[in-house]
Amino acid sequence: MLILASASPRRRELLAQAGLSFTVESANVSEDVQPGESAATYVQRLSVEKAQAVWAAHKSLDTPDDPLVVIGADTTVLCNHEILGKPVDQADARRMLGLLSGRTHQVLTGIAIVSRIAPLSDVEITQVYFDLITEKEMATYLASGEPLDKAGAYGIQGYAARWIPKIEGCYFNVMGLPIARTIALLSAAEDKLNPGGAARLGI
């Protein structure tokens, strides 16, 4: 049984596009950054904590023939040494977009696979280049409401695509889930859960 520990519609769509069958349950964990925590450590820790929380809530479903496997993920934006999560309001979104305007930043996603074995986790990093954002574009984007539920106050697949001339790395990572890296971790977990046996996760 495979569960995605995220309410993100983008992650759900990406996993479905990759041909996986799964259910969805969001995890209620604190997303506060710990003192001195790097962006990579932060997203990797949160991805594990989210997956562990959901696995613990459903561990009674885990059986030898049908192992319970949970995917956790967390994405953040790093610009000018500042970790940018989801903006708290429009003023915060404007501040974040102003920081990103005309600069290169990094998008980091932590991925975790939690099951009865030790968690498997990794971090994907993509470089994203931003053009300058005009005041008119800024106002239009903020009025749409789109920035408010996205790390760094933008989504690469929406209106903000007009500001991104190029990226270096995984496009799907910027959307919130690096599919190839996720599938690799799932395959590694499946091998450990069922060495030499038939695939059970539908990978």
Question: DSSP letters of 28-56?
Answer: ----PPPTT--HHHHHHHHHHHHHHHHHH
4-27: average pLDDT: 94
The Cα 162–Cα 180 span in angstroms is 26
- Strand bridging mode 23-24 / 2-4: parallel
Give 155's pLDDT tier (boundaries 50, 70, 90). very high
Give 196's pLDDT tier (boundaries 50, 70, 90). low
CATH 3.20.20.70 fits 2-193, yes or no: no
Q: Give pLDDT tens digits for 83-142.
A: 999 999 999 999 999 999 999 999 999 999 999 999 999 999 999 999 999 999 999 999
Task: Say yes or no to pLDDT of 198 above 70.
Answer: no
Q: Look at residue 38 in the predicted model and tell me its pLDDT.
A: 97
30-56: average pLDDT: 96
Q: Look at residue 96 in the predicted model and tell me its pLDDT.
A: 97
Tokens of 48: 């594990």
Q: Which residues are catalytic?
A: 74
Q: Look at residue 197 in the predicted model and tell me its pLDDT.
A: 62
The Cα 44–Cα 49 span in angstroms is 9
The Cα 193–Cα 200 span in angstroms is 10
User: Can you say whether residue 81 is alpha, beta or left, with left for phi > 0 and alpha for psi between -120 and 50 degrees?
Assistant: left
> Using an 8 Å Cβ cutoff, are 93 and 153 in contact?
yes
Q: Look at residue 83 in the predicted model and tell me its pLDDT.
A: 96
| Cα end-to-end span (Å), the chain | 12
The Cα 123–Cα 137 span in angstroms is 32
The Cα 192–Cα 158 span in angstroms is 38
**Structure pTM?**
0.92
The domain spans of the chain are: 2-193
- Strand bridging mode 120-129 / 104-114: antiparallel
23-32: average pLDDT: 93
Task: Say yes or no to pLDDT of 199 above 80.
Answer: no
Q: What percent of the chain has pLDDT over 70?
A: 96
Q: Look at residue 65 in the predicted model and tell me its pLDDT.
A: 86
